[in-house]
Structure 1
Amino acid sequence: MIRYTIAAGLAVAAFAAPVAAQTEIDFTLDWRFEGPAAPYFIAEDAGHFAAEGLTVEITPGQGSLDAIPKVATGAYPIGFADMASLIKFIDQNPGAPVIGVMMMYDKPAFAIVGRKSLGIEEPSDLEGKVLGAPPPDGAWAQFPVFAASTGLDVDSITVEPVGFPTREPMLAEGQVAAVTGFSFTSYLNTVRLGVDPEDMTVLLMADYGLDLYGNVIIVNTEYAAANPEVITGFLRGVAMGVKDSIADPEAAVAAIAARNPALDSALEVERLEIALRDNIVTEWVLANGIGNIDADRFVSSLDQIAMTYEFNTEPDPALYFTDAYLPTDGSLMLE
């Protein structure tokens, strides 16, 4: 069980100052209602959003790329998406009204998940093997950078396009030796299908030279400019939800289970704890708080993207992320 000392953020929202009227806002996730999404649901159920005058409707997504066009077109004012994919989208769509405002996965969950019995224990083992990769997957989008960082002979790898529903079953059945995916998703889903955890290999791309950031909360810039207090209130509520999730993962996952009675709560608690441990509550976050980025690392990440992606214009960090909407009242700090 993951536990951290939380100095603030667990006060019952019912004691917060009353608000005049609730603003309804739609928030689109990158994926299904799983453990790592618990902070948003507990923020809603514990009243953290309500304390900010918000009623938040959370909807599932279909992959790390899915939320970007939804937010850019204004279909959703706020979403959750892969940072590197956001950078490429903005480069390919100059002036698109979308930007990152709160980094959630300081260490990205992008991973290669394989099986030792199928010969996968380190990056070089992918050579000569079949790799399953869903085309819209955020981890697959970063695979060229990972391959460049590790010196992989990409031509020797057979890439099999797979769908999200068939990715882990194909790995469990041995139809592919490894898959791209989020570490906490592909690992646990494969184990759930009966594969021995001891047979699993998780190669977290961030452990192999990647400076890339992971998933980030994004906003429609036009909506945000017109409603800055809504965005800041939403982000403060998310921070409180993260703290609640750290303090009591079971209760946080119960907020998801309330929307999905068929949820395997034990599995999703484990998934949430992995995400908190490996992706969200990093040393940098413990020192600096939730949500912001390190400017030098961000520039380095842009350089890494440019290793395999040709920017149409000179990359400008200010186009992709702003801290202008982050709360400044100390609510982002975990200790």
Structure 2
Amino acid sequence: MFTRILPAALASAVLAATPLAAQDTDIAFALDWRFEGPSAPYFLAIDNGYFAEQGLNVEITAGQGSLDALPKVASGAFPIGFADINSLIRFLDQNPGAPVTAVMMVYDSPPFSIVGRVSQGISGIDDLEGSILGAPPPDGAWAQFPILAEVNGIDTSTITVEPVGFPTREPMLAEGNVDSVTGFNFSSYLSLARLGVPEDDITTIMFADHGVELYGNAIVVNTDFAEANPEIVTGFLTAVAQGTAAAIADPAAGAAAVIDRNPAGDAALEERRLQLAIDGNILTDYVMENGMGGIDADRFATALEQLTLTYEFQNEQDAALYFTDAYLPEGDVLMVGGQ
């Protein structure tokens, strides 16, 4: 059973009595992963005062994978989170009525990838058959791997799947214990390089380059909270768009904001990781033309069809349950790539 964060009547009374700009509203935001380059937009939104301008005091919590934020947000423990929309779709099918939906697409092109080593025999997608694939069970890329296999006719019975933990994923590949791993393009690639694997020995197989039409990660909200606090949600998304624009304009500043929260990190590495996410996942042609946050209905319909290739829905698909643009801010704030 899922509980409300704030009763609708009380929330409405508070919003009616107090202008949003005068509020000091605490918001707990659940990330999907640890503090790395791609999380820079949220930290810049704090450091540059974008959240504060919306009357929000945001606390960001690291996550443990693409599935991690969904139960946190659905349960009401966090009103807002960051999660893989495909995992959200399955979560809602398995938990009908759970109060969670996506409200802003961030990774217009999904970061799902398989990262392998040429020296281990992985130069491209055709080399996966007969190989050893390391996959963390909660990983978003692993969750969508069956679609990649189905679309490309990969015989998965020939692949030995080795369950691995996130901390051991790249080390096992670096040590040659597996031939490739599932992961996000901006994480596994650079983490492997940091372990000393020559970059010309690393192969990145992007799902999006091989017929997978899925979207990636999005901002998700507890729907009870959002319905009761629409101005807060729109204000949050406004600040996220501003933080994203700031990260695109100055990736070095974005990386510095991350390192302020993760002093053990490498600023140059996180700047590069952020740039990979910007170029490959955030600032797509669609976003350049239409702005950040929305989705294309036809593409989303195709994505839903692809999900049925390897997942048997218990309930009828309903796109309206998975995404809404009702809380997106209006105006040029979403044009994060400039015009």
TM over 0.5: yes
Runs of 4+ that moved beyond 4 A: none
Deviation digits for residues 195-239 of structure 1 (CA, Å, limit 9, x no counterpart):
000000000100000110000110000000010000000000000
- What residue in structure 1 maps to residue 262 of structure 2? 260
The answer as to 2:175 corresponding to 1:176 is no
Equivalent runs, 1:1-335 vs 2, <5 Å: 19-334=21-336, 335=339
d(CA) in 2 for partners of 1:260 and 1:309?
37
Shift of 1:21: 2.4
Structure 1 distance, partners of 2:311, 2:262, is: 40
Tell me the SS of whatever aligns to 2:281: helix
The normalised TM-score by structure 1 is 0.94
Q: How far is the alpha carbon of 1:329 from its aligned partner?
A: 2.3
Q: Name the CA distance, whole Å, in 1 between partners of 2:46 and 2:163.
A: 37
How far 1:257 sits from its partner (Å)?
1.4
Partner Cα separation in structure 2 for residue 154 and residue 60 of structure 1: 33
Unaligned runs of 5+ in 1: 1-17
Q: C-alpha distance in 1, partners of 2:330/2:315?
A: 33
The farther-off stretch of 251-260 and 183-192 is 251-260
Amino acid at match of 1:128: G
TM-fit CA distance, 1:150: 1.0
Structure 2: 5+ residue stretches without partners: 1-19
Cα deviation digits, residues 262-281 of structure 1 (max 9, x gap)? 22110000000000000000
Aligned equivalents of 1:28, 1:249: Cα separation in 2:
22
Equivalent residue pairs, number: 319
SS at match of 1:27: strand
Q: SS of 2:261's equivalent?
A: coil
> Secondary structure in 2 aligned to 1:141?
helix
SS at match of 2:334: coil
Q: Tell me, in whole angstroms, the C-alpha distance in 1 between the residues paired with 2:276 and 2:262.
A: 21
AA of the residue aligned to 2:269: L
> Per the alignment, in what secondary structure is the counterpart of residue 21 of structure 2?
coil
CA distance, structure 1, for counterparts of residue 254 and residue 125 of structure 2: 35
CA distance in 2, matches of 1:43, 1:194: 33
SS of residue paired to 1:143 = helix
Deviations 1:114-159 (A, max 9, x none): 0011110111201111000000000000000010111100000000
Letter of the 1:284 partner, please give it. Y
CA distance in 1, matches of 2:170, 2:36: 16
Q: Percent identity?
A: 63
Aligned counterparts of 2:237 and 2:21: Cα–Cα separation in 1:
17
